[in-house]
Amino acid sequence: MKRKKSKVKDMTFCALFTVLIAVGAFIKIPVPVCPFTLQFFFTTMAGIILGKKRGAISVILYTILGLAGLPIFAEGGGIWYVLKPTFGYMIGFIIGSYLTGWLANKKGWEDKFHLFLASFIGLLAVYAMGMIYYYIIGNYVIDAPIGIWALFLYCFLLAVPGDIVLCVLAAVSTKRIKKAIGEIL
């Protein structure tokens, strides 16, 4: 019976973070080329709070729901979204959540500095995947070429300061949340 409760609890928390990520897609600050949203914040929190596997599962579920046609991505939804240059960030969110969860739940990484570091490393994975995908899709698939400097400027330099703040916020808030829900989780 205990394992069944554990599965239900896991599914509930994964679903909760899937919803939070979807809500985060609609909380956005307009930035040219790549919209700045709170998706990264919630995918990072999913990794820290739920761990690598369940955190990544919640992001995968979010991605599947969006690709299935639910308009929960920052710019809509549907299978055609894989042709949008920014879809690489979705792939990066999965990798980043897994990586952040793996690092944040290692022994000795429980303090705020290490949680920030885990979040930041996850952020680098998100940006690496997002920018590589953006460049390939833009230049070779949809004939909307973007140069390396423009890609770096619009898809990294303009957005990364806000995401670094989100790394700090995730490290501080998830530490408190984990403490508050420790018995439940």
pTM of the predicted model, to two decimals? 0.91
Residue with tokens 């998100």: 126
Query: Beta strands of the chain (E only): which ranges?
Result: 28-29, 36-37
The secondary structure of residue 102, as a DSSP letter, is H
How far is it, in rounded angstroms, from Cα 166 to Cα 168?
5
101 closest CA partner among 87, 128, 121: 121
Residue 30, judged by CB atoms within 10 A of its CB (0-12, 13-18, 19+), counts as exposed
pLDDT in single tens digits along all 185 residues of the chain = 455 658 888 899 999 999 999 999 998 877 666 667 899 999 999 999 999 999 999 999 999 999 999 999 988 899 999 999 999 999 999 999 999 999 999 998 888 999 999 999 999 999 999 999 999 999 999 988 999 999 999 888 888 888 999 999 999 998 778 778 765 66
- Structural domains in the chain, sorted by start: 2-180 (1.10.1760.20)
